[in-house]
Every structure is written in C-alpha cells, then in structure tokens.
Structure 1
Amino acid sequence: MYLEILTPDQKVFSGDITSVQVPGTSGRFEVLTNHAAIISTLEKGDVTIRLAKEEKVFKIDGGVVEVLHDKVIVLAEAIL
C-alpha cells in the first residue's frame, strides 16, 4: 500500500507502508492493504505509520484522508 502525507506547503512522507492509523473525527481507525474506498475528516492527533521494520509517528492538526485502490492520501492542516 502507498501513502502520501501532504500539508499546504510540503510533502511530509511518501512511500510503501504496511498500515496506517489516523485520528478520524468519529474515532481512530486503521487502514490495511485492500481497504475499502473511504474519505474521512481527521482531528488533531497522531498518524502512526507501520513500515516493514519500523514505525513512524506524525502529529497533525486535523485534515482529510482518502483511501482508494491501495493508495492513502492524508491532507493535513499542519504537522505539529
């Protein structure tokens, strides 16, 4: 699965991942390979990325996430 995290002024992350957890408006949720298509608003919180051998965490100040065809795009207001 491929992930991009973007803010209005920069690309924060792009690459292949195993899974990603995001702070959805209705609660935290995880996206895995072959996830159904979804668009959701995001609250302020942690975006946790699982790679093959490590985990990365980015703190965002809200935004939107889109999942479509094994590609996840997180449009974040800002990285904290």
Structure 2
Amino acid sequence: MKIKIIDCDNILYQGNIVSITAPGFCGSFQVLENHAYFISILKNGIIKLEDGKNRKKIKIKSGILQIKNNSIIVIL
C-alpha cells in the first residue's frame, strides 16, 4: 500500500507499507492491503507503520485518515 502522512508544513512520511495501526476516535485500528474504502478521525496517540522489514512510529495529536484503492492519506 502507498501512504502519505502530511501536516500543514511538510510531508512527514511517504512510501510503501504492509500495515498501519492508528488511534481512531472510537479506538485503535489496523489496516492491511486491499482494505475497503474508509475514513476515520484520529485522536491523540501513535501511528505505527510497518513496511515488512522496518517499523516506524509517529506521535500525533489529531488528524484524518482516508483509505482508497490501497492508497492511504493521513492529514494531521
């Protein structure tokens, strides 16, 4: 899956991943390849990314996540 995580000033992360775990408004959730179209409000917490070899954590305060056709956009 392709992912782009942006805030008002920069691109914080861009690349291909195998999974993402995010702090949704109603609870944490994980997204894997071929997930259905989905939009979620994000709350304070940590986004965890895995690309198959490495793991990355990004601390966030809030945001919006959209998944469509194996492409994820996170706006913080």
What is the match of residue 15 of structure 1?
A: 15
What is the match of residue 50 of structure 2?
A: 50
What is the match of residue 30 of structure 1?
A: 30
Q: TM-score, normalised by structure 1?
A: 0.93
Spell out structure 1 runs of 4+ moving beyond 6 A: none
User: 1 CA distance for matches of 2:52 and 2:21?
Assistant: 15
User: 2 CA distance for matches of 1:17 and 1:23?
Assistant: 17
Instruction: Report the structure, 1 or 2, having the larger strand content.
Output: 1
Give me the CA root mean square deviation. 0.5
User: 2 CA distance for matches of 1:24 and 1:13?
Assistant: 19
- Structure 2 gap segments, 5+ residues each: none
User: 2 CA distance for matches of 1:20 and 1:49?
Assistant: 5
Give how far 1:70 is off: 0.1
- Structure 1 gap segments, 5+ residues each: none
- Number of aligned positions between the proteins: 76
